[in-house]
Amino acid sequence: KAEDQVLNLSTLTLIFMFNEWIYYKSSFYYMSNERKSWTESRQDCLKKGADLIIINSSEEQDFVKSNTVKREFWIGVTDSDVEDSWKWVDGSTLTSGFWASKEPNGGTIENCAVTYSTQWPDLLGWLDVRCNDAYQWICEKSIWP
């Protein structure tokens, strides 16, 4: 029933709000305060029943930018398997993305990505970095199964 779905969504919203999650357009987002490697960050998201964020639209990218000002956060994309073939954590291929100017540029050394916002326009967007570096991270959990 529609009422049950609304009630379930309200309950979910309350549960996640109290655990430092932010709701935006059918997903909940968790922004960590600590720093870990890409793999450790993903493991933390999976433990929470989520995964590293998949940025599907310019609106979602703007949402991320507004919540990550002047801080780098891991996102759920990597080219660890095949160089220059960037894949999201759900296995889908990254088609365009929101790379900063001249990014990705790290070759086989930098195979994971962070989102970065700063006052310098040339660094606005995603950067490829070493997967073992330590950054904060963003988990995403859809409200839909």
Q: Give per-10-residue mean pLDDT for the chain (145 aa).
A: 55 63 91 97 96 96 86 95 96 93 91 81 82 97 86
Non-local (6+) Cβ contacts of 79 within 8 A are: 85, 86, 87, 104, 111, 128
**What residues make up the domain containing 41?**
24-142
For residue 130, the domain's CATH number is 3.10.100.10
- What pLDDT score was predicted for residue 137? 98
In a domain, 13, yes or no: no
In a domain, 34, yes or no: yes
120-139 pLDDT tens trace: 656 678 999 999 999 999 99
Give the span between the Cα atoms of 35 and 130, in whole angstroms.
Answer: 14
Say what the pTM is.
Answer: 0.85
- What pLDDT score was predicted for residue 9? 63
- Joined tokens for residue 2: 């529609």
